[in-house]
Amino acid sequence: MHHTRREADDVRMRGFAQRHTVDAALAWLDAQLQPLTAEIVSLPFAAGRVLAASVASNVDVPGFDRAMMDGYAVISDSTEGASAYTPLQLEVVGQSMPGCPFRGVVRKGEAIRIMTGAPMPDGTDSVLPAEWIGVEADESGTNVSSPHVIVALAAVSPGKHVGKLGEDITSGTTILESGRVLRPQDLGVLSSIGHGDVQVVRRPRVRLAVTGNELLPSGMRPRGFCIADANGPMLAALIDRDGGLVDFPGLVKDDRDAILKSLHSDADIVIVSGGTSVGIEDLAPMLVAQYGELAVHGIAMRPSSPTGLGRIENRIIFLLPGNPVSSLCAYDFFAGRAIRVLGGRSKEWPYRAVCGRLNRKISSPIGRLDYARVTIADGLVEPLAVTGASVLSSTTRADGFVIVGEDSEGFPAGAQVEVWLYA
């Protein structure tokens, strides 16, 4: 019997004919992904952004030899033999301050009063620290030192307490590689070489459509048979964490036209939460298939089995289950990966992994990937006794999760497992 495209892709109330493996879903997704184009932003707004091109310096930092201590700039030979027992007199002939250098040339036996960061005067090669300067007295103990004369109580070697030209950054050196997520100290380095603007990868625009006639806006007290939206604030925070720009104008009713409008957003990515399974009101998969490509619908994983992946024109569509834990899991496996790659970041999870010994077994059937929430105490990993995909509080009680691959039946008690930490 011949089916139209819409009839063939409509699995409502019929169930999934097959479920894709996680690897197959990721393979399709990765083939769709490449970093977005670059844009220029001013330095104060560049923290946390991803460099689109490597940055090389065309200046030396510092651009001059400078003092690294307060004291006196001298020719090191002028201090040879100086000690507390054999102090040497030096004539002070000027001063060098930050931004206001001494303009003359210093000769042997002369000294220039200098502050940290100030340019080294011509002819000098070292700094005699202020604490190595003494006071000269006559036989009666009276101070006879002149403001124009200092007494060196120690010798300094050439280059002592001097920061050399290019010591921090040498002209022509690549200082930051493309793909780097800029940290605050990186902005300082960019500023030090005269970069007021920086080329970064454009942040992906993400339209978030949380569907459900039973939902109340987040923060509202649940009443009657209505529940407050938990997925909206959770997913918006995850999108922001992964470098996306969130467009979340409000809840979307289980209505064909309302969902279709969300799918036709001008965003780079559309994430639909809820209405993605095989129920009579699960309209999103059918609409994606009708107006674009529904490449994946139904994945062999728990939770998150009703997840879907597809495209409409140049937008990547993610259909996430409405149950909160399923939504979180599907986001981490698929949507978050896409947002990070489009934004120039690593596709890998932004979670730290640790190893621990399992104190109770985790069972899983062959052919399905399982996402098991766990706690860790004293190096022991404890699976939470929760299987429901709607129990979001299990993720706040959990320290992280363990992944059981589709080719595994789980892990016995005592096994060493890898735990991905939520924080």
pLDDT in tens, 95-143: 999 999 999 999 999 999 999 999 999 999 999 999 999 866 444 444 4
- Written as one letter, the residue type at 304 is S
| Structure tokens given for 45 | 């707004």
> How many residues are recorded in the chain?
423
Residue 1 has pLDDT above 50, yes or no: no
Residue 6, pLDDT score = 46
Tell me the backbone φ, ψ of residue 222, rounded to 5 degrees.
-55, 145
Domains of the chain as residue ranges with CATH = 5-36+203-342 (3.40.980.10), 39-55+177-201 (3.90.105.10), 69-157 (2.170.190.11), 352-421 (2.40.340.10)
Residue 3, pLDDT score = 38
Q: Give the angle 208-329-233 at the CA atoms, nearest 5°.
A: 40
pLDDT in tens, 170-199: 999 999 999 999 999 999 999 999 999 999
What is the number of other CB atoms lying within 10 angstroms of the CB of residue 226? 13
State the greatest distance between any 2 C-alpha atoms of the chain, in Å, as a whole number.
Answer: 121
- The pLDDT of 79-85, averaged and rounded, is 94
Q: What confidence category does residue 217 fall into, taking pLDDT thresholds of 50, 70 and 90? A: confident
Residue 15 has pLDDT above 70, yes or no: no
How far apart (Å, rounded) are the C-alpha atoms in residues 255 and 152? 87
